[in-house]
Structure 1
């Protein structure tokens, strides 16, 4: 159903807590299978759904790969022992 400039669509949550994005919304957001979307919950309880742009999607994939390789900021630092040769740079 459409109301003024707003589009209102209804979805049902499945037993697996999945939601189908209504066709009208998919068309407006220009999303297709394998695209990623962001769900933002505002302080007033309103939810905003946006498509992630390919640049942002690529950026976060790189961040995930780097985190897997090097760890996150929460990963404790590994003590590799005393640094060698640093005193030569004074």
Structure 2
């Protein structure tokens, strides 16, 4: 499991976490963002680089420095998924 929340596997997390705890983690994620350390580190460095760029007179946006967060997630329909699997 992500950051060992609830255990080392999905089965352990389902067994150990209560519904109330899951709702708490969902609220935490919505307020503070992802629990993935790499993404959080990327965001912090992007913020630092963006600030430096702005002080130097640049016009870049924060998202320009968040390379991994920009990777598009392919969204396909259920029919397309079924066709791909058959």
Same fold (TM over 0.5): no
TM-score by length of 1: 0.25
The higher radius of gyration belongs to 1
Specify which structure has the higher proportion of strand: 1
Specify which structure has the higher proportion of helix: 2
TM-score by length of 2: 0.26
Higher relative contact order (CA 8 A, sep 6+): 2
